[in-house]
A and B are shown apart, each in its own frame.
Chain A
Amino acid sequence: DAGVIQSPRHEVTEMGQEVTLRCKPISGHNSLFWYRQTMMRGLELLIYFNNNVPIDDSGMPEDRFSAKMPNASFSTLKIQPSEPRDSAVYFCASSFTRNQPQHFGDGTRLSIL
Chain B
Amino acid sequence: TQLLEQSPQFLSIQEGENLTVYCNSSSVFSSLQWYRQEPGEGPVLLVTVVTGGEVKKLKRLTFQFGDARKDSSLHITAAQPGDTGLYLCAGIDSNSGYALNFGKGTSLLVTP
Contact = CB atoms under 8 A, between A and B. Distances in A.
Interface of A: 4, 31, 41-45, 48, 56, 91, 93, 98-99, 101-107
Interface string B96-112: 11111011110000000
Contact of B42 (A31, A42, A105): A105
B88 interface: yes
Given A42-B105, A91-B42, A99 B97 contact: yes
B48 A101 contact: yes
Interface string B22-35: 00000000000100
B98 A4 contact: no
B96 A56 contact: yes
Contacts of B98: 31, 48, 98-99
B84 to A, nearest CB: 18
Given A93-B42, A106-B40, A56 B99 contact: yes
A99 B88 CA distance: 19
Contacts of B48: 101
Contact of A104 (B42, B96, B103, B104): B42
Given A43-B100, A99-B97, 11 more contacts: A31-B98, A42-B103, A42-B104, A43-B43, A45-B99, A91-B42, A91-B43, A101-B33, A101-B45, A104-B44, A107-B41
A76 B9 CA distance: 32
A108 to B, nearest CB: 11
